[in-house]
Amino acid sequence: MSIRHAIRRSLRAAARLAGAYRPRGALVLLYHSIADVASDPWALHVTPRHFAEHLEVLGRQCTVIPLRALPHASASLSGRAVAITFDDGYANNLEAAEQLKRRGMPATVFVSVGAAGQPLEFWWDELDRLLLEPGRLPPVLELTVNNKRRVWSLGSGIYEHGETSRHREWRGWEEADGPRQALYVALWNLLHDMPHDAREEIMTTVHTWGNRAREARPTHRTFSLEELGDLGRDGAIELGAHGVTHTSLASLSNSAQRGEIVESKRMLEKLVHRPVTTFAYPFGRDYNAATIELVRESGYTHACSGVAARVEPTVDPFQIPRVPVPDCDGARFAELLNEWFSTA
């Protein structure tokens, strides 16, 4: 046997051995918006180009399965199993859905159904548009919340295009690197636990202060009712519930939680004329034991959290973990898949 032939045989054997010990199991990938944006404080957006590259990688390396096949698939499949999900209800998910359909890949789109058909953005996106896009704002914002006066200063109130570019990589969980970012985080924290009506009242006040109309950018708009009905009607893409108003469920009474959980199911089923059996907790981790029981009692069979972990065969079907996918190219995404399957 030649040395070259022996080396080739050894390499093939090593490849087979590596394949035999390749980490297996299942992952649920979490996307939100598929769009090019100038500012992304919570890393919710993946560019269309990168998303297409992700699908290329998944087609080569994984078996894409429906969410409802979990958790059993994590034990029964011989290779890497991946379920794809989207949260919130961004209209740009429509093009993503078309790409998935062309590849024969299933996915679940979780929709905050009360936002569908509205001419507004989600409140965290409205704050982004108001505070993190270039423009002039009054130098001081004053709000009275729960009889407590709050005051924030923006200095000159002017925000140039260069500043938007310079702060493009800033994320909301990092230390604020300017007064606009600090105000964004302060308002986000203030609004996060509020019920919908109280939150809307403050958002109206903030937009009046900023002298800005409440309108939706094409990159950030939500589904129209017609789009939502068309998306879920043929069953190729599953629609799941995500509450009515995308409110932190753990901050609500059991009665209010039940309303969000039950009504979102009813509204979606009326739109698509098929059962809605999956739920995703708004904000990923904002739920409690009562929330889980209410979801179970309401007729859902699966519910997803925002906890980043691999799906094990013993997973609670009402607390399925998901891995948030960052905006990255296909090569980096392939590296992340290896890490997630090994350590998630």
Check residue 121 and report its DSSP letter: -
Instruction: Name the one residue in this structure whose structure tokens are 């399965």.
Output: 65
Angle between helices 196-210 and 123-131 (to 10 degrees): 20
3-state helix, strand, coil in the chain (%, to 5): 45, 15, 40
Fold of 23-118+221-343: TIM Barrel (3.20.20)
β-pairing, 107-111 vs 135-136, is unpaired
CB atoms near residue 4 (< 10 Å): 8
Do 64 and 83 contact (CB within 8 A), yes or no? yes
CB distance 237 to 31 below 8 Å: no
pLDDT of residue 319: 97
DSSP assigned state of 222: B
pTM of the model: 0.90
Sequence ranges of the domains in the chain: 23-118+221-343, 123-210
pLDDT tens, per residue, the chain with 344 residues: 443 444 344 334 333 333 333 445 799 999 999 999 999 999 999 999 999 999 999 999 999 999 998 866 655 566 799 999 999 999 999 999 999 999 999 999 999 999 999 999 999 999 999 999 888 899 999 999 988 999 999 987 677 666 766 777 899 999 988 899 999 999 999 999 999 999 999 999 999 999 999 999 999 999 999 999 999 888 889 999 999 999 999 999 999 999 999 999 999 999 999 999 999 999 999 999 999 999 999 999 999 999 999 998 889 999 999 999 999 999 999 999 999 998 75
Specify whether the CB–CB gap between 34 and 51 falls below 8 A. yes
Which tokens sit at 205? 């006040």
pLDDT at 313: 87
Tell me what pLDDT residue 155 has. Answer: 81
Kind of pairing between the strands at 135-136 and 158-159: antiparallel
